[in-house]
Chain A
Amino acid sequence: MSHVYTSVGWNRQKKIYDSTLAVGIAVYLGLFVGIGSVVHPNATIETLLIRGFGTCALLMLHIILSIGPLCRLVPRLLPLLYNRRHFGVMMFLMALAHGAFSLIQFHALGELNPLVSVLVSNCRYDSLRNFPFQPLGLVALLILFLMAATSHDFWLANLTAPIWKRLHMLVYVAYGLIVAHVVLGVLQSETNPLLAVTLGVGMVVVLGLHLLAAWRERALDAPSDATSSADGFVDVCAVEEIKLNCAKIVTLGGERVAVFKYDGKVSALSNVCQHQNGPLGEGRIIDGCVTCPWHGYQYLPDSGASPPPFAEKVPTFNVKIVNGRVLVDPKPNAPGTRVEPAKF
């Protein structure tokens, strides 16, 4: 959103978010390694660190993956989403520490290049129980690296949000690889069922929240059963169905449209925020601007353009009110095209 990129656009909420995160990580590692070294005096510090960093990253990944659907289900939890990118980068750093320590511990000072050793020291691809679990972790770490390395808004702008999002959807591939890495790795050796149960509960929570959120969203993407008039305008709802300074979301033209009511007027624009493709229709009108619920990107409701100096623009839709009903033309106007709001 900034006119010139900065490293991090710090604000009070981000500082609170990151400090909370840092405290959480310190508490986890402190407990795991501190109590671990008392409970397991024979354990070496390298083992405790490798396990501590690995499990810390895994716990963080579960929380990160749960935040998305949780905020779809309970939008008031959006503060958890606001700086999730830093959460992701910190999780990557934990995973990197786990990977680097393991690479040094298990593969350094040998006859082979340590990375080659990861790939060839176990070739039991024919056996599930003995399957090489370390390459799975390595591939997952590469995906997490790619995500962390492209977390800056520069990458969002230069890859474009849809491609950036597709790249970041690889987190689900990484999650699958990491679960396999744990199940085919340490869980083949550790016998306490609590460990498998803990992982299982985490997977059920992540999967359950995603299914629940998808089920709730399904209705929104169903083709609109609204009737269209002779001029092609589609009847989307009554004016009073839309709350003041809020929007109703309908699917028109193959994508969601946000129809906002404000200041005695109604305007319609594409629901897809140009920043991270957040749902504009779940946002509010603040200071006369449509404000995205995810990161607060703003657009003028009549033109779909961000106020200067910002340059984001979304498509707008012609709109009119007939007998208290809101009618929207499903043909989008070019991003940033001003449309006369319908007055009521």
Chain B
Amino acid sequence: MVFAHWVINLAMAYAALGFAFAIAFVFYGVGRIDPAAKGSPLMFRLLIFPGAVALWPLLLNRWWSGHTSPPVEQNAHRKSANSVKEAKS
């Protein structure tokens, strides 16, 4: 019972922090980390709100570390292409 209370309280605290973060993120942060979000409509900001509540540590990290555009995915071809490029330069 005590453990269950802890689990629920921790989840609530995480969600509350996420909620506060998400308000700042969807109105200010999102345009900083993704240029395609600059000038986007209110409805878009509301749509990403629940995800920002859930994944706030990840977004906070990108915002905090000053990334100005989304990361680029890595797969076998992209990694190999990058290593060839680096070897040439």
Contacts and interface: CB of A to CB of B under 8 A. Distances in A.
Direct contact of A and B (CB under 8 A): yes
A277 B71 CA distance: 15
A4 interface: yes
A162 B73 contact: yes
Contacts of A4: 36-40
A6 B44 CA distance: 6
A119 B33 contact: no
A177 interface: no
Contacts of B38: 4
A162 B51 contact: no
B52 to A, nearest CB: 8
Contacts of B78: 270, 315, 332, 335
Q: How large is the interface on B (under 10, 10 to 19, 20 to 34, 35 or more residues)?
A: 35 or more
Contacts, number: 118
Interface in B5-49: 5, 7-8, 11, 30, 33-34, 36-41, 43-44, 46-48
Interface in A117-155: 119-120, 145-146, 148-150, 152, 154-155
Interface string B53-79: 111001100100000001111111110
A335 B84 CA distance: 12
B44 A158 contact: no
A113 interface: yes
A157 B51 CA distance: 14
B36 A149 contact: no
A283 to B, nearest CB: 17
Contacts of A327: none
A315 B40 contact: no
Contact of A331 (B1, B40, B51, B80): B80
Contact of B73 (A152, A253, A274): A274
A3 interface: yes
What secondary structure prevails in chain B residues at the interface with A?
A: helix
B70 A315 contact: no
A224 to B, nearest CB: 14
A102 B9 CA distance: 21
Given A4-B40, A150-B55, A157-B70, A334 B82 contact: yes
B31 to A, nearest CB: 10
A255 B51 contact: no
B70 to A, nearest CB: 4
B23 to A, nearest CB: 16
A157 B34 contact: yes
Q: Which 9 A-B pairs have the closest CB atoms?
A: A254-B76, A7-B43, A160-B73, A149-B51, A119-B4, A149-B50, A255-B76, A332-B81, A332-B77
14 contacts: A5-B36, A6-B40, A113-B5, A145-B50, A146-B51, A146-B54, A149-B54, A154-B34, A157-B34, A159-B58, A163-B73, A272-B75, A272-B77, A332-B84
Given A159-B58, A315-B81, 10 more contacts: A116-B4, A119-B7, A145-B54, A150-B51, A154-B34, A154-B36, A160-B72, A162-B74, A253-B77, A335-B81
Interface of A: 2-7, 113, 115-116, 119-120, 145-146, 148-150, 152, 154-155, 157-163, 253-255, 257, 270, 272, 274, 277, 314-315, 331-335, 337
